[in-house]
Amino acid sequence: MPKVLPIAQLGESILRERASEVRFVDQSIVHDTKIQELIDDMIFTCNKVDGVGISAPQVFQPLRIFVMASRPSARYPYAPVMEPTAMINPLLITWSDVTPKGWEGCLSIPGIRGQVPRSKEIVAGYLDRHGQWHQKEFDGFLAKIFLHELDHLDGIVFLDRTDSRDLVVESEFQKLVAAGKT
């Protein structure tokens, strides 16, 4: 039975460390019970806390794994729907030079939102939870999720990529959402 995992908060050292590659000689490590349970727990946690993505370092596991699980919620009312997807050893293959600012928040930095410039379109590669390699294009909000979570694997948080003048507290962000200004 999946469980909600504790989420590391800004200031905890694991959020500033580069996560380790999931290493394996064959596909067996991907099918390892601990890896599969971690992925199940990450998906469950992400859903329970209204996240659209979560990385292994955010749940105190220093591994290059994250989950993208976009769907509309109170935190992201305009998020597109996608099937929760685990990404193991993800790579950024190509990215656009077009980098519009967009609002981001983080489960590890509750109560703050910021305007972060991110590539509008990317091509990413990753192993899925079954050990199969995928190369996929993401754009807009989904590209933003991928890049945000990839940053976590490198010890970077969204605050590192924004100007302090582009930060708001959650209650002010919700006013912007209500006014249609997001």
Whether residue 163 contacts residue 119, with contact meaning beta carbons closer than 8 Å, is answered with no
Instruction: Specify the residue for token string 């979560």.
Output: 54
Backbone angles phi, psi at 18, to 5 degrees: -75, 130
Which DSSP letter does residue 131 get? S
Instruction: Specify the residue for token string 């959650």.
Output: 170
| Active-site choice (37, 121, 137, 149) | 149
Whether residue 45 contacts residue 67, with contact meaning beta carbons closer than 8 Å, is answered with no
Q: 125 vs 48, 87, 93, 94, 133, CA distance in Å? A: 27, 9, 7, 10, 7
Q: Is 21 a catalytic residue?
A: no
- 3 state DSSP class of 128: coil
Cα 14 from Cα 6, distance rounded (Å): 13
Cα 81 from Cα 64, distance rounded (Å): 24
Residues catalogued as catalytic: 149
